[in-house]
Structure 1
Amino acid sequence: MRSMKTYIQKNSTAYWRGISAMFLGSFVTFALLYCMQPLIPVFSEEFHIAPAYASLSISLTTGIMAFFMLLVSWFSDAKGRKIVMAISLSVSAILGIIIAFCNNFSILLILRILQGIMLAGFPAIAMAYVNEEFDPKIVGMVMGIYISGNSVGGLAGRIMVSTLADFSTWHIAVAGISTIGLLLSIWFWIALPKSQNFSPKKRDLREMLAALTKKLQNIELLMLYSISFLIMGGFVTLYNYIGYSLMAPPYNLSQTLVGCIFIVYLIGTFSSTFMGKLADSNGSSKVLCLSIGIMLLGCLTTVHGSLSIKIVGVALFTFGFFGSHSVASSWVGKCAHSDKAQAASLYLLFFYLGASTIGTIGGKFLLWYDWEGVVIVIALALVLALILSGVLLLREMRYKIYSAAQS
C-alpha cells in the first residue's frame, strides 16, 4: 500500500502548482477544442455549407480525440503522464496557429482531425494524474477545479473568437487563442509536479484491450460511460446550434452578442467545484441525479420566446452539465481500482462520441424543426441519462441497506 506521504496534500506548494497547472491545461484544451463552435454559422455562410456539415469542425475533432485517447492512455502507461500531456498541449496550439491560415474548409477539417489526435493526450491522462497524485480525500474537489478549467477555457475560446471574428476575421481570432494556448502550454510543462505514484508499465495491445474489456464488463462503469455520452451529446448540441436561433429573427443578435451568451460558462466554474464537494459529502448518485435534472429543466426553458428567459435556461443547463460531469468523472476514478487511465479514457471516449453523434443529429433536427427540434433531441438524451443515474442511486441505496444488515 502506498504511503500517504506520496500524495499531494492540500495547501502544499505542490498542491497549488498542481491544481493551477491542471486548471490551465484544461483551459488550453477546451479553448482550442471549442473555439470553432461560435464560428459554425460563419463557416455556413463563408463556405456555403449546411449547419450539420459546418458542425464537423467540432464533431470530427471530438470524435477522433475520443478514439485516440484510448491509445494515448496506453502510451502514457509506458512513457509517463506529464510529458505526454505537455506535448499534447503545445503541438495542439501550434496546429491551431496553422489552421488560422486556412482558406479551404476541407483542409480545415483535416487539420482539425490532426488537432483532435493531439488534444487526446491531455484529458484522459489528466484524470488519471489527479486520481494517482492527489490525496484521495480531496480528489472530488481537485477534479472539480480541473473541470472548471473546461468551463473557463470554453468560455474564453468562444468569446474571444466570436468578438474578434465580428470585428476582424475568424483567421485572426483563431490565431490569437492558439498563441495564448502555446504560451500557457509552456508554463504547464514547467509548473506541473512530476508524478510520484506512477510506475511505468510496458504493455502490448492485447493487454490494453483486455483492460478496456474488463472496464466495460463493470456495470457501474458502463452506466457512467453511457451517462457521459448522453450529457455531453446534449451539451454540445445546444451550444453548436443556439447561435443560429439567436442570430435569426426575432432576436437578430450579432456574432459578438451571441458570443457573450457563453459568459454563462462561468457558472460551470462554480458548479463543477460545488457539486464535486457536495458529492464527496452526500454521495455521488444523489448529486448526479440532481445535476442532470437541472440540465433537463434548463434545456426545456430555452424553448421560451423571451430572450432573457432563454438565457436563464442556458445558464441552468450549463450549471447542471458541469456538475454532472464533475461528479461522474470523479466517480469513474473511484470505481476503477486499477488501470485508472484506461477507465478515464473510456469515460472520455463515450463523452466525446456523444458530442460527435448527438451533435450531428441535432443539426438535422434544426433544419427540420428549428430550435424546438434541437431541444427534443437534447431532452430525450437527458431523460435517458436521468433514468441511468436513478438506477445508480437505487443500486447505491440497496448496497447501503445490505451493508447495514450485515453489520
Structure 2
Amino acid sequence: MPASTEASTTRVGADPVVPVVDSRLSPGGPGYRRMSFALFLAGVATFALLYSTQALLPLISDEFGVAASDASWTVAAATGGLALFVLPMSALSERFGRRTVMTASLAVAVTVGLLVPLAPSLPALVALRAVQGAALAGLPASATAYLAEEVRPKALITAIGLFVAGNSVGGMSGRVITGWVAQEWGWRVALAVIGVIAVGCAVAFRLLLPAPKHFVAGSLRPRVLVGTVRDHLANPLLRRLYAIGALFMTVFGGVYTVIGYRLTEAPFGLPQGIIGSIFLIYLVGTVSASTAGRLVGRLGRRGALYAAGATTATGLVLSLADSLVLVLLGLVLITGGFFAGHAVASSAVSKTATEGRAQASALYQSAYYIGSSAGSTVGALAFHAGGWAGTVGVGLLAVFGVVTITLLGTRAARVQQRLLTA
C-alpha cells in the first residue's frame, strides 16, 4: 500500500477511529413500529377517556336537569386536572423514567374510568373526571419527551404526528362509540364501554413500548425544576408556541363541546347515535397530524401555522350555515386545521428545548389543556348567550390570536436575520 494511502486511513500509535452509530429509532429500523403503535394506543386511550363525556352532554344535561354550561364541566374538569398536573408529572418522569410514569398514569386513569359511570350526581361526576384528568397528565409530556430522546431528529415530527394521530382516533372512537351505545342503553353504559376499551389499550401499550435506551435520570429538587421552567418561559419562541397551542385548543374545545347541542336542535334534530357519528370527522385530524412533517417541509413552520389557522377559520365560517352538508364541511376544515397546527407547534417545542424536554413539553400541554378547558366553558357560555354564532365568534377570536402571534414570530425572525447578516 502506498505510504500516502496508509496515512489517510490510520496513524502510527493512534487509536483507530470508530464511527459513531446513532442507536436511536428511525422508520424501518428495529423497534420503531412497536414504539409507534404503543404510543398510538396510549394516545387512543388518553383522548377516549379525556373527552368521553363530550358527545353525551345533552343526555347528562337531561338526567341531572342542568344547562349546557353546567354539563360542560365534566369536560373542563378533566382537561383542567390534566393542565394542573402535567408539569409535576413531567418532573416525575425526569426522575423515574418516561415509560414508568406513562404506565402508572394509564393504570390510574383506566381504574377511575371504570368508576365514572357509577357517579350518583353531577358534582361527583365532575370530581371523578378531575381525578381522571390529573392521572392522564403523565402521558402527553412524557410521550413527547420519550420520542425526543429515543427517535432520530429527522423522524421526530413524523413520530409525534403519529402520537397526535392516536389522539384523534381516540377522540373520534370514544365519541362515536358512546353516541351509539348511549342511544340504546344510556350514557352510563357508554362510559363503561369506553373504560373497558381503555384498559385494553393500556395493557397493550405496556407490553409493546420498548424500554428507553437514552433516558438519563434528572433531579426532583424544586429549585432545579423552577429554574428549568423559568428558562423555558424566558424563551420567546417557546412562549409563542405555548400560546398557539392554547388558542388552537380553545377553538377545538369550544366547537366539539357545543356541536352536540346544536345538532339536536332545529333545523337538524339529529338523534344521539348520529351525533356521535359526526365525530368520525376526527379521521381528518389523523391524516393532517401525520402529514404535518411534509407540510412544514413545504411551507416552513410559520407557513404551516398560517395554513392551519386559515383552514380552521374557513371551517368556522362555513359551520354557521343551516345546511348540514356545510356544517359537516366546516367541521372537517376545523378538525384538519386544528390537528395540523397542534402537531406543528408541539413538535417545534420538542425541537427547540435542548434541555428539560419533559418540562418544555409539559408547559405546552398545560397551556394546551387550559385552552381546552377555556374553550369548552366559554364556548358553552357563548352558545347559551348567542347560539352557535357566539361559539363561532369565540373560535374566530382565538384563530386571530394564532395568526397575530405567528406574525410576531415572523417579524422577530427577520430582525434576528438582519442582525446576523449586519
Band of TM-score, shorter chain: over 0.9
1:91 equivalent in alignment to 2:139 = no
1:201 equivalent in alignment to 2:224 = no
Residues in 1 aligned to 2:418 and 2:24: alpha-carbon distance in whole angstroms? 33
Residues in 2 aligned to 1:233 and 1:326: alpha-carbon distance in whole angstroms? 15
Q: How does 1:264-283 map to 2 (within 5 A)?
A: 264-280=281-297, 282-283=299-300
Residues in 1 aligned to 2:417 and 2:26: alpha-carbon distance in whole angstroms? 30
Q: How does 1:8-407 map to 2 (within 5 A)?
A: 8-280=25-297, 282-399=299-416, 405=421
Residues in 2 aligned to 1:390 and 1:376: alpha-carbon distance in whole angstroms? 21
Which TM-score applies when normalising by structure 1? 0.96
Residues in 2 aligned to 1:327 and 1:178: alpha-carbon distance in whole angstroms? 30
Deviation at 1:402, TM superposition (A): 5.5
Residues in 1 aligned to 2:194 and 2:220: alpha-carbon distance in whole angstroms? 37
Could you tell me whether the CA contact under 8 Å between 1:241 and 1:363 is conserved in 2?
yes
Could you tell me whether the CA contact under 8 Å between 2:267 and 2:322 is conserved in 1?
no
Could you tell me whether the CA contact under 8 Å between 1:67 and 1:349 is conserved in 2?
yes
Deviation string 1:162-196 (CA, Å, 9 cap, x unpaired) is 11001111111111111111111011111101111
Residues in 1 aligned to 2:130 and 2:102: alpha-carbon distance in whole angstroms? 18
Deviation string 1:194-227 (CA, Å, 9 cap, x unpaired) is 1111111123112111111111111111011111
Residues in 2 aligned to 1:25 and 1:67: alpha-carbon distance in whole angstroms? 20
Deviation at 1:271, TM superposition (A): 0.3
Question: Percent of counterpart pairs with the same letter?
Answer: 33
Could you tell me whether the CA contact under 8 Å between 1:230 and 1:382 is conserved in 2?
yes
Distance of aligned partners of 1:398 and 1:11 in 2 relative to their CA distance in 1, 3 Å threshold: farther
Deviation at 1:400, TM superposition (A): 5.1
What is the aligned-residue RMSD (CA, Å)?
1.5
Could you tell me whether the CA contact under 8 Å between 2:289 and 2:340 is conserved in 1?
yes
Residues in 1 aligned to 2:114 and 2:388: alpha-carbon distance in whole angstroms? 33
Residues in 2 aligned to 1:221 and 1:9: alpha-carbon distance in whole angstroms? 26
Structure 2 unaligned runs (5+)? Answer: 1-18
Amino acid corresponding to residue 159 of structure 1 in structure 2:
V
Deviation string 1:102-161 (CA, Å, 9 cap, x unpaired) is 232111111111101110010111011111110101101111111000110000000000
Residues in 2 aligned to 1:255 and 1:400: alpha-carbon distance in whole angstroms? 54
Residues in 1 aligned to 2:21 and 2:416: alpha-carbon distance in whole angstroms? 28
Residues in 1 aligned to 2:350 and 2:111: alpha-carbon distance in whole angstroms? 31
Deviation at 1:396, TM superposition (A): 3.5
Amino acid corresponding to residue 112 of structure 1 in structure 2:
R
Could you tell me whether the CA contact under 8 Å between 2:312 and 2:336 is conserved in 1?
yes
Amino acid corresponding to residue 62 of structure 1 in structure 2:
T
Residues in 2 aligned to 1:3 and 1:278: alpha-carbon distance in whole angstroms? 31
Residues in 2 aligned to 1:93 and 1:169: alpha-carbon distance in whole angstroms? 20
Q: What SS class does the counterpart of residue 276 from structure 1 fall into? A: helix
Residues in 2 aligned to 1:378 and 1:56: alpha-carbon distance in whole angstroms? 19
From the CA coordinates, give the structure whose radius of gyration is larger: 2
